[in-house]
Amino acid sequence: MSKSYILKGGSLPNGTKSDIAIKDGLISAIGTSLDANGSKIFDITNCVVLPGLVDLHTHLREPGREDSETVLSGSRAAVKGGFTAISAMANTSPVADTAGVVEQVFRLGQEAGLCDVFPVGAVTQGLEGEKLSEMGAMANSIARVRVFSDDGHCVSDPLVMRRALEYVKQFGGVIAQHAQEPRLTVGSQMNEGIVSAKLGLKGWPAIAEESIIARDVLIAEHVSSRLHICHVTTAGGVEIIRWAKARGIDVTAEVTPHHLLLTDDLASSYDPIYKVNPPLRTQKDVMALREALAEGIIDIVATDHAPHPAETKECEWQEASFGMLGLETALSIVMQTMVDTGLMKWEQVADRLSIAPARIGGYSDHGQEISVGKSAHLSVINPTASWRVDRDLVASRSRNTPFHGMEFPGVVTHTFFKGVKR
């Protein structure tokens, strides 16, 4: 770890042109014309340096579905996308609902060594929504779990949700809710609207998401706990969160890159590459999500990276799995939808993709302002370059990207984790 580097010619998120020196895993100097002094020099002219990106919502599939993704392959995809910390969702097999499983995933992350892998613990045993999992044991394990989620399933029983929100207060935890009223979404396939009616695919109404968000912000207020809403997709959901924040409720929210870009009319091809939970919504929702992210009503971007093997996507829509890859394309999509549109500057990108998610997850070594003495977790992006997504060239073990063939601005040129280029 005694490697030293100088990043030369780039800009900090606030636009200041500055060189950055890295030594022994830390940022050792920031300024112009830094003395090389034997350091390896990276010319990053035209590039922007961001604090290493932090994903609060990643499916790594290990243990159980190593054919789709492993902690190692997911870590590689993360690094390629500029992430230095990712959060392994609990819906593995076995479910991450005990200290044993979260410690296993944590250790696999350490062994991969490419970025930090923070396990998310299940809220309920087996994700069944009935009995609380041993959240205390997971919080006190070497994995130090602080984010708990049944993601993939909604904690739909209001009493279970109340108890979970209360219980995690003792160790400063947060419940990340997958907001999906199950009775309103039995067999649902895509956003309920004009397109679903035409295609004859069972609708997934926006109210199924919004009614849970509304309920849970009220519960969080009542028990004075901390709630995080996973993957918000609807304009109505944004309005409820806006209301809750104005009221002082301790709620945060995320949006995925795909919900910032894609809409439900893509389902017209019946190609399940566009099948995702929660579903793609309408252009009106997309615009509301972008504005909410710029405004900070939605706090962060999280990928919901969901690898699936080919056979679960090369089939009929209703038979296919929900989910799409996200790690390798996230930053470019944010640049296209938020920066190039003038809605956000790079300083806000640093906040929404690094500083805020690290704060929500309690990942104290990540999401720091770029300053001397901090851990050198850094992502370098060249906004003047563009690239074309090729599903055959992804670092992930799966190829289910809906962005295949699309050209995006912004190339991640370097990812530094603990001061080393990965």
Partner 1 sequence: MRHLLSISDLSKDEAVLILDTAIEMARASDGPMKKLPTLRGRTIVNLFAEDSTRTRISFEAAAKRLSADVINFGAKGSSLSKGESLKDTALTLQAMGADAVIIRHGASGAPVRLADSAWMSGSVINAGDGTHEHPSQALLDAFTIRKHCTKSGGDLAGLRIGIVGDVLHSRVARSNVLLLSLLGANVTLIAPPTLLPFGVESWPVDISYDFDSVLPSLDAVMMLRVQQERMSDLFFPNAREYSRYFGLNRDRMLTMKPNSIVMHPGPMNRGLEITADVADSARSVIVEQVSNGVSVRMAILYLLLAGAPTQIGANS
Answer yes or no whether residue 205 interacts with partner 1 by CB under 8 A. yes
Answer yes or no whether residue 63 interacts with partner 1 by CB under 8 A. no
Which of residues 171, 317, 322, 387 is near partner 1 by CB under 8 A?
Answer: 317
Looking at the Cβ atoms of 23 and 313, the one nearer to partner 1 is 313
276 within 8 A of 306, measured Cβ to Cβ: yes
In whole angstroms, give the CA distance from residue 209 to residue 212: 6
Looking at the Cβ atoms of 166 and 271, the one nearer to partner 1 is 271
Q: What is the DSSP string of 222-248?
A: HTT--EEE-S---HHHHHHHHHHHHTT
Answer yes or no whether residue 235 interacts with partner 1 by CB under 8 A. no
Binding window for partner 1 (CB under 8 A); candidates: 11-19, 194-202, 346-354, 398-406: 194-202
H or E element, residue 85: strand 83-88
Residues 67-126 touching partner 1, rule: CB under 8 A, are: none
Residue that is written with structure tokens 């944590």 in the block: 106
Q: Which residues pair with 388 in a beta bridge?
A: 407
Answer yes or no whether residue 316 interacts with partner 1 by CB under 8 A. yes
With contacts defined by CB under 8 A, how many residues of the chain interact with partner 1? 22
Q: Phi/psi of residue 398, each to 5°?
A: -105, 165
Which of residues 98, 141, 177, 196 is near partner 1 by CB under 8 A?
Answer: 196
Answer yes or no whether residue 203 interacts with partner 1 by CB under 8 A. yes
In whole angstroms, give the CA distance from residue 404 to residue 364: 35
130 alpha carbon, distance to own chain's centre: 26
Answer yes or no whether residue 271 interacts with partner 1 by CB under 8 A. yes
In whole angstroms, give the CA distance from residue 368 to residue 360: 13
Binding window for partner 1 (CB under 8 A); candidates: 32-40, 104-112, 317-325, 409-417: 317-325
Here the tokens at position 323 are 């989910």
Catalytically active residues, by annotation: 304
In single-letter form, the type of residue at position 156 comes to S
Looking at the Cβ atoms of 237 and 409, the one nearer to partner 1 is 237
In whole angstroms, give the CA distance from residue 386 to residue 384: 7
Q: Which residues of 332-361 are buried (b: 16+ CB within 10 A; e: fewer)?
A: bbbbbbbbeeeebebbbbbbbbbbbbbbbb
In whole angstroms, give the CA distance from residue 285 to residue 306: 22
To partner 1, the closest distance from the beta carbon of 200 in angstroms equals 3
Binding window for partner 1 (CB under 8 A); candidates: 61-69, 186-194, 323-331, 373-381: 186-194
Which of residues 224, 318, 364, 384 is near partner 1 by CB under 8 A?
Answer: 318
Binding window for partner 1 (CB under 8 A); candidates: 97-105, 229-237, 309-317, 404-412: 309-317
Contacts to partner 1 by CB under 8 A: 192-194, 196-203, 205, 269-271, 311, 314-319
